[in-house]
């Protein structure tokens, strides 16, 4: 089964053709990073406009690379939640219209489910159940993947997501946007023991964490150094920060492995590209004997291939988006976004009566 997938939840316009959830026939990502870098972060209005400008071209390229005509597709899918609502609406409406015009099914896909599914593309024999550390710009959580479309959240951040903290710290250190890769590069030349940074502990919730204290500690360090006219060891601070994030996430993942008794563990989302985190995950896997699935860097950030993979499993589970399918800025990974949309439409109809 060949699915055309569209992703437009943030600042990448992406289209891919995926076969049976596991094989990438094409994978096109048009990034807006350079545009948003001028503003130090994603500007939602600009993101939506750029998606509209790029989406037809990106889709044509995805079909061309797959060596296919549109009528050979079996279904179309698009990210419908969570993300920037204007950006999501571009991809969701494009995907629905494309499916409708072809007379093929449409599947709405949850973005974080997609990030997890990136692992199915990289590891053809990976099957649920397994444990995943989700670490992206908007989410940090530990998820038990019970089945392809069934998830249990075991713990998560009480405030900022890991990626959000990376982006904020990057701004404070003046390395610009996007923060994560720049902090990662800076950290390569720094001493992780240079600064002592706080590690969060949440009372009675050992799998939960917090990044706001860590973020504030870095901001205060940088401001104090500036006020006193002291030089800041930016490499050392970047390395200490990467180390602190890793020391927050990896022990919780290890605890979740022990608690669930699962032996397979993966990582998903943009922060999964972080070299300090990847090294610590490999160490942890070696220590515990768990099998680690780490997606290649090309599949950690936002892309449509991962959406096409998850869409296949949503299709197998009977998910079909109607032409009224809406997009949502927020949605829990456990939520059924078709039902969410249908319920919302029903409430609107009742109000109009
Ligand atoms: O998953 P993603 O591409 O988009 C969301 O769904 O949010 O994640 C983007 C986040 C950004 O916060 C970015 O700074 C972070 O992932 N990121 C990294 C690295 N590459 C991207 N964080 C740490 N180290 C990296 N190498
Ligand atoms: Zn993402």
| Residue 178 predicted with pLDDT over 90 | no
| Residue 98 predicted with pLDDT over 90 | yes
- What is the number of other CB atoms lying within 10 angstroms of the CB of residue 310? 31
- 108 Cα–ligand 1 center, Å: 23
Instruction: Find the mean pLDDT for residues 302-327.
Output: 98
190 in contact with ligand 1, CB cutoff 6 A? no
Q: Please report which confidence band the pLDDT of residue 353 belongs to, taking 50, 70 and 90 as the band edges.
A: confident
What ligand is nearest to the CA atom of residue 300? 1
Q: What is the pLDDT of residues 105-152, one digit of tens each?
A: 999 999 999 999 999 999 999 999 999 999 999 999 999 999 999 999
Name the average pLDDT for the chain: 97
Structure tokens at 151: 């998830």
Q: Which residues pair with 291 in a beta bridge?
A: 264
Instruction: Find the mean pLDDT for residues 157-185.
Output: 94
| Residue 71 predicted with pLDDT over 90 | yes
Concatenating the DSSP letter of every residue in 153-195 gives EEEEBSS--HHHHHHHHHHHTT--SSHHHHHHHHHTTS-TTSS
Q: Please report which confidence band the pLDDT of residue 327 belongs to, taking 50, 70 and 90 as the band edges.
A: very high
271 in contact with ligand 1, CB cutoff 6 A? yes
| Residue 23 predicted with pLDDT over 90 | yes
CA separation, residue 61 to residues 54, 108, 129 (Å): 11, 22, 35
Model pTM score: 0.97
| Residue 15 predicted with pLDDT over 90 | yes
Residue 164 CA, closest ligand 1 atom number: 12
303 in contact with ligand 1, CB cutoff 6 A? no
Please give the pLDDT value at position 43. 97
Q: What is the pLDDT of residues 247-300, one digit of tens each?
A: 999 999 999 999 999 999 999 999 999 999 999 999 999 999 999 999 999 999
> CA 300, CA 283: separation in Å to the nearest integer?
20
> CA 15, CA 94: separation in Å to the nearest integer?
11
| Residue 176 predicted with pLDDT over 90 | no
Please give the pLDDT value at position 20. 98
């Amino acid at each position: 089964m060949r699915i055309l997938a569209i992703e437009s939840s943030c600042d990448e316009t992406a289209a891919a053709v995926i076969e049976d959830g596991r094989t990438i026939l094409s994978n096109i990502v048009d990034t807006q990073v350079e545009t948003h870098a001028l503003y130090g972060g994603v500007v939602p209005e600009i993101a939506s406009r750029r998606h509209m400008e790029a989406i037809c071209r990106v889709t044509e390229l995805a079909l061309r690379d797959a060596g296919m005509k549109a009528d050979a597709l079996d279904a179309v899918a698009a990210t419908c939640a969570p993300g920037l609502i204007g950006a999501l609406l571009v991809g969701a409406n494009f995907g629905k219209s494309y499916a409708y015009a072809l007379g093929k099914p449409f599947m709405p896909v949850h973005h974080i489910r997609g990030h997890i599914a990136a692992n199915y593309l990289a590891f053809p024999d990976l099957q649920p159940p397994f444990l995943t550390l989700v670490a992206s710009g908007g989410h940090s959580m530990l998820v038990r993947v019970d089945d392809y479309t069934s998830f249990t959240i075991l713990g998560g951040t009480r405030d900022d997501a890991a990626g959000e903290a990376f982006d904020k710290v990057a701004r404070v250190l003046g390395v610009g946007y996007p923060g994560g890769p720049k902090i990662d590069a800076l950290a390569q030349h720094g001493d992780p023991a240079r600064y002592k940074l706080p590690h969060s502990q949440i009372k009675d919730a050992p799998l939960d964490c917090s990044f706001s204290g860590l973020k504030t500690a870095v901001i205060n360090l940088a401001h104090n150094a500036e006020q006193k006219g002291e030089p800041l060891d930016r490499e050392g601070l970047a390395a200490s920060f990467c180390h602190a994030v890793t020391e927050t996430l990896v022990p919780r993942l290890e605890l979740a492995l022990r608690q669930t008794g699962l032996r397979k563990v993966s990582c998903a989302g943009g922060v999964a590209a972080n070299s300090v985190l990847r090294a610590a995950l490999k160490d942890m896997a070696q220590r515990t004997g768990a099998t680690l699935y780490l997606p290649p860097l090309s599949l950690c950030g936002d892309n449509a291939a991962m959406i096409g993979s998850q869409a296949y499993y949503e299709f197998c589970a009977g998910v079909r988006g109607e032409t009224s399918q809406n997009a949502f800025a927020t949605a829990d990974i456990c939520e059924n976004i078709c039902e969410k949309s249908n319920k919302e439409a029903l409430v609107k109809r009742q109000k109009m009566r």
